[in-house]
Structure 1
């Protein structure tokens, strides 16, 4: 039997997502050709992704492309690609902080970074935005050890902790320059601490903020309202027409129920997240600390300390976040760090389905940066 050539691939769970990790050299250099191949590898477009690696949901239809860094400030470069499930689209318009947790271990496994002893730290440049991160994880005996007692909501069992720290980004924390904007008749806070995010009090949309994600997805009137808000907020945030993109994310805020700082419901962009993304949580955490923002009256913040617990539909995410004043007097992120886990599921060769000569090249959203 003959067919398309296989591609070296490692399937990993990173945080609360799952994705295919590739060395850049193992994929075509031309983005359009690469993306068409990734669609076939993931089994898209198909709601079930039955003929590929994807799991039929945006959280399991993700790709990490890793290479030696082009600059001295990082060890490796990480390009995140969101592969459409039932659409033939591949987007590089956002980062993914969940798959980011697996980049350091993957880089060590593939020999891009030498293990550093009991623990290894890998400096990562996120190609999508140019932002930097440092991931630290255990490497006893010079090998990645995924076992440990760290637990994160939304993932069964425990694993080794991967501590991911983000230095302040170069862009403004408040892309609109204001703590509060009125967008499509709704008060929101537009914040970007690694992920462009629009914070919306759930009660302003006549919701409790505690609804099940499936019920939120089934509400067509809500979907139309959120779409209107997202389009208008995208323009205000300098993102242009976001009709075909997955950013900005929208996060509904409600008072906490289980001792955390806030309860969240996040949309990516129309599917309701069953938890919350790492970078989305980083933006939420920073947004809660902004005086005059929509999150301040909703959140319950403890005095002293940087740690916040962000509640979501399947549990919580703990994040350390501090905000201060920048030279222009506007709020700016000082420190952001989160504990994640990651695990290699398989390492081998994936065989994509044959290319369909009648299908046009995959549209790539945003263009590689």
Structure 2
């Protein structure tokens, strides 16, 4: 059968917003047999669902929204772990390459995992109160970590509407607190170099102070002024500057090498999702992307972060976990930008507004340990039904 005569297959799916991201969510039982297991067939299906790779960078022929925040997929399954309700697997879809990056988590979409687990019957019914809060215990399969999602329930149903406002999201919704338990990489030091601040040498670019942390997601923190920025930048200030984007990608690649995430610089190209790169500055007043005035008195510091090669419109949830963790440990660049000293929570300014995050950190013989990082998000089902893809993808 020639390709233009191919029938389409349909796959049950739910389109959800979680925090400041959107993604296509699947119950693993609804996937075609070829895609029930990891591998090239699963990747092919998910790429086609989202509309990648797209040389036009618009994802017109798929569900993606042509930004890193809206080019995401989630697969949920009954948990394989004791004392957990569901396993959550996240895929970051590249827009212009045939690449599904499974190397990290999406903290924003984590908030939607709880509601999705309840809506699809993956959450045991006896764990859902008629009224109150359901604590959905999630095993994050990409990074092998526990996340507890506190989903508000009314009359036995997920409460999606409410008056909680999240900067970067247009409409208010119900608040969903999310606990990222022991967010640092348990196998190694949360600070992979063993230092709170390092010198990062980047050939032909320069030498920079950097804090390398592996909490939430591996992240490279730098100082805005060392890069020639103020920390008040919005997306267009950086995303329209190809030289700046190239410089950030080069810094990110050499940072990944220093963190031990890759063994040679060429590997960075296939690890777009990790590590993240962010820059911090002391509080300053600025206008957010929607025109809202953010006073320097409203924030403890400013943070701008890049995701998949572009400045993010708000803040990635996993990077917010890294910010919370680093801010609560005296002596990191993030902590110093926030004024230094011991902290349990901070409010930072990002391009869309502000976000409050918290972390509980302690020091033991192994070094610094973060017990949990906490932030509030919201989530909502936007559409449910079936996605369709040509059957010749397998």
TM-score, shorter chain, exceeding 0.5? yes
Shift of 1:234: 0.9
**Residues in 2 aligned to 1:266 and 1:212: alpha-carbon distance in whole angstroms:** 11
Matched ranges for 1:1-369 at <5 A: 3-27=7-31, 28-30=35-37, 31-46=39-54, 47-113=57-123, 114=125, 115-118=128-131, 119-169=133-183, 170-171=186-187, 172-184=189-201, 185-240=207-262, 241-245=267-271, 246-257=273-284, 258=295, 259-300=298-339, 306-328=344-366, 330-355=367-392
- Across the aligned residues of Structure 1 and Structure 2, the Cα RMSD in angstroms comes to 1.8
Shift of 1:167: 1.5
**1:81 alignment partner, SS class:** strand
Higher strand share: 2
Higher helix share: 2
Shift of 1:354: 4.9
Deviates further, 227-236 or 151-160: 227-236
* Alpha-carbon spacing, 1:307–1:297, altered in 2? closer, same or farther (3 Å): closer
User: How many corresponding residue pairs?
Assistant: 355
Shift of 1:164: 0.6
Structure 1, unaligned runs of 5 or more: 358-369
Shift of 1:235: 1.7
Shift of 1:150: 1.0
Contact 2:9 2:391 in 1 (8 A): no
Contact 1:40 1:354 in 2 (8 A): no
TM-score of the aligned structures, taking structure 2 as reference length: 0.86
**Residues in 1 aligned to 2:247 and 2:53: alpha-carbon distance in whole angstroms:** 27
**Residues in 2 aligned to 1:63 and 1:36: alpha-carbon distance in whole angstroms:** 12
Which 4+ runs in 1 deviate beyond 6 A? none
User: Per-residue CA shift, 1:96-128, capped at 9, x if unaligned?
Assistant: 011110111101111011223322110001100
**1:50 alignment partner, SS class:** coil
TM-score of the aligned structures, taking structure 1 as reference length: 0.91
Structure 2, unaligned runs of 5 or more: 202-206, 285-294
Shift of 1:183: 0.9
Deviates further, 1-10 or 280-289: 1-10
Shift of 1:26: 1.9
User: Per-residue CA shift, 1:280-302, capped at 9, x if unaligned?
Assistant: 0110122123333222332246x
Shift of 1:254: 1.2
**Residues in 2 aligned to 1:255 and 1:202: alpha-carbon distance in whole angstroms:** 9
Deviates further, 240-249 or 167-176: 167-176
**Residues in 2 aligned to 1:265 and 1:355: alpha-carbon distance in whole angstroms:** 41
